[in-house]
Amino acid sequence: MLRLSQSPTDPAFVQDPYPFYDRLRAGGDMAFWTEYDMPCAVSHRAVSSLLRDRRFGREIPPELAQSIPDHLAPFYSIESHSMLELEPPRHTRLRGLVTRAFTSRRVAALEPDITRRTHALIDALPKDTADLIPMLCQPLPVEVICTLLGVPDSHARDLLRWSNAMVAIYQARRDRAVEDAASAAAAEFTAFLTDLIAHRRQRPTDDLLTHLIAAEEAGDRLSTEELIATVVLLLNAGHEATVHTLGNGLARLLADGHRVSPENAVQTVEEILRHDPPLHMFTRYAYEDVTVFGHSFKRGDQVALLLGAANRDPDVWPDPHRFDPTRTAQQNTSFGAGLHFCVGAPLARLELTTALPILFDRLPDLRLAKAPSYANLYHFHGLEALHVTY
C-alpha cells in the first residue's frame, strides 16, 4: 500500500488539499496517511462501498473504549447519546424516532422562512463591500435551525458560539485549549436545552423540538439526554456543513463568473457539494477481521474515508478538478451513505437552492474583492473570509 506523509495543518494543504488526494489515489483505492496512522479509502468506489459496509461502523468496539478524561466529560456525555456515533440497535431506535419528527413536510415548510431571512441578511449588508462569511453564511443556517427548533432568534448567537467551539474538537488543530472550550460549550448547551425541553414538555408548540419530545414507537420515546444529543447534532453537523458549503460554493462561483438562478440552482448546488465539500474525512472502525480493496483489517482497526478525494475521482467525473455547474449530477459522497446518511441533507439542499438565487438576483454586480482563503479546520474544509463587492 502506498504510504504518504502530509500534515493536515500545513498552510498549503489547508488552502488546497486536492493535489495530495491525487497523490494518494495514484496508489489505488486505498493508501496510508502516516500522520493519521491509518489507511484511507480515496476512490469513489471504495469510499461509497465502505460507507455502506456493515462490517465497519462509527461506534468504538467496547473492548477498545477508554476512560474519558474529567475535563472532557461534559462533551462526551452528549456524544455518548448521539446517533452519529452509534450503531444498531441504538442507532436504529434513535434514527427511527428522529425521522418521525424531522419529516420532509416539516423541512419543505421552512422555505418561506429561508427566503425571508436571506432577504433580511442581504438588506443588512453594509454599503458596497462585505465579508459574507459572518454576514450571510454563518447566520442564515443557525437562524433557520432556530426556527426549526422553536428557539428565539435572540439565542442564535449563543448557538453559533457553542457550535463553533464543539466542532473544533474534531479538527486536526485540536489541543487542550480547544478541548476545554468544547467542554465548556457542551455544558452551557446542555443546561440551555435541559431548561428548554422541560418548558416544551409543559407547553408544547408546533416546532421540531416538541415533535421530537412527542415522537413515539411502540411506547418508546427519546430520553432527555437523547433529545439534547439530537438537537446538538442537528445544530453542529447541519450548521457547520451549510456554512462551509455556502462559502466554498460562492467563492468558486464568483471566481469563475457563474451565476445561480432558480432554473439552475439544483444542478449548481450538486456540483458545489461535489467539487468542494464541507467535510473531507469520516472514520470507521472494523468490526471483524476483513480484507477489502486489497487491505486486511483486524477488528478495531480504523479506516479514513476521504470524501473530498472520492468526489474528484476521475473514473467517475471527467476532468474532476473543473467546476462545471452544467455537469450531469452523479451521486457524490458529501452527505455520506448507508445508515449514517445525513438526516439533514434535505434541509441543507433547501437552504442552498433557496438562498443562492436570491443572492445573485439581489446583488447582480456581486464579485470577489480579494482572493478567498481557507481556515485551518481540517477535517472540515471552509473559508475564514469571503470578501466581496457589489
CATH number at residue 171: 1.10.630.10
- The DSSP secondary-structure symbol of 69 reads P
- Residue where the block lists cell 447519546: 81
Of the pLDDT bands very low, low, confident and very high (cuts 50, 70, 90), residue 328 is confident
> 62 to each of 67, 78, 145, 300, how far by Cα in Å?
11, 18, 34, 9
| DSSP letters for 71-104 | GGHHHHHHHTT-GGG--TTHHHHHHHHHHHHS-H
Predicted local distance difference test score (pLDDT) of residue 182:
98
- Residue where the block lists cell 458549503: 245
Of the pLDDT bands very low, low, confident and very high (cuts 50, 70, 90), residue 292 is very high
* Number of domains within the chain: 1
Q: Which three cell numbers stand for residue 289?
A: 477481521
pLDDT tens-place string over residues 179-217 = 999 999 999 999 999 999 999 999 999 999 999 999 987
CA distance 72 to 178: 11
Cis peptide before 89 (omega within 30 of 0): yes
Q: Which three cell numbers stand for residue 232?
A: 446538538
| DSSP letters for 132-195 | HIIIIITHHHHHHHHHHHT--GGGHHHHHHHHHHHHGGGSTT--HHHHHHHHHHHHHHHHHHHH
Helices (H), 283-384: 307-310, 345-362
The answer to whether 106 and 251 are in contact (CB under 8 A) is no
The predicted model gives 21-26 an average pLDDT of: 97
Predicted local distance difference test score (pLDDT) of residue 217:
75
- Residue where the block lists cell 467517475: 316
The answer to whether 162 and 185 are in contact (CB under 8 A) is yes
Predicted local distance difference test score (pLDDT) of residue 149:
92
- Residue where the block lists cell 453564511: 137
Predicted local distance difference test score (pLDDT) of residue 274:
98
Cα radius of gyration rounded to whole Å, the chain: 21
220 forms beta bridges with 217
Residues 6+ apart with CB under 8 A from 30: 1, 39, 40, 41, 42, 43, 46, 293, 294, 295, 303
The predicted model gives 123-146 an average pLDDT of: 96
Predicted local distance difference test score (pLDDT) of residue 383:
98
Q: Domain residues for 243?
A: 3-389
Percent of the chain with pLDDT over 90: 96
Q: Which three cell numbers stand for residue 96?
A: 427511527
Predicted local distance difference test score (pLDDT) of residue 344:
93
Task: Name which of 69-73, 218-222, 356-360 the model is least confident about.
Answer: 218-222
The answer to whether 342 and 102 are in contact (CB under 8 A) is no
The predicted model gives 262-283 an average pLDDT of: 97
| DSSP letters for 254-281 | HHHT----TTTHHHHHHHHHHHS-SB-E
Check whether 347 has a pLDDT greater than 80: yes
Whole-model pTM? Answer: 0.95
291 φ/ψ angles, rounded to the nearest 5 degrees? -115, 125
Entry field: residues in the chain: 390
Quick one: CA dihedral 231, 189, 139, 153, positive or negative?
Answer: positive
Alpha-carbon dihedral 241, 247, 249, 253, rounded to 10 degrees: 170
Quick one: CA dihedral 142, 145, 147, 152, positive or negative?
Answer: negative
The predicted model gives 42-56 an average pLDDT of: 98
Quick one: CA dihedral 345, 349, 350, 351, positive or negative?
Answer: positive
Average pLDDT, the chain: 96
CA distance 41 to 18: 14
Predicted local distance difference test score (pLDDT) of residue 238:
80
Identify the H or E element spanning 385. strand 383-385
Quick one: CA dihedral 31, 34, 39, 40, positive or negative?
Answer: negative
Predicted local distance difference test score (pLDDT) of residue 239:
86
The answer to whether 145 and 348 are in contact (CB under 8 A) is no
Predicted local distance difference test score (pLDDT) of residue 19:
98
Predicted local distance difference test score (pLDDT) of residue 68:
95
Of the pLDDT bands very low, low, confident and very high (cuts 50, 70, 90), residue 219 is confident
User: Rounded to an integer, what is the distance from CA 34 to the centroid of its chain?
Assistant: 25
pLDDT tens-place string over residues 238-272 = 888 999 999 999 999 999 999 999 999 999 999 99
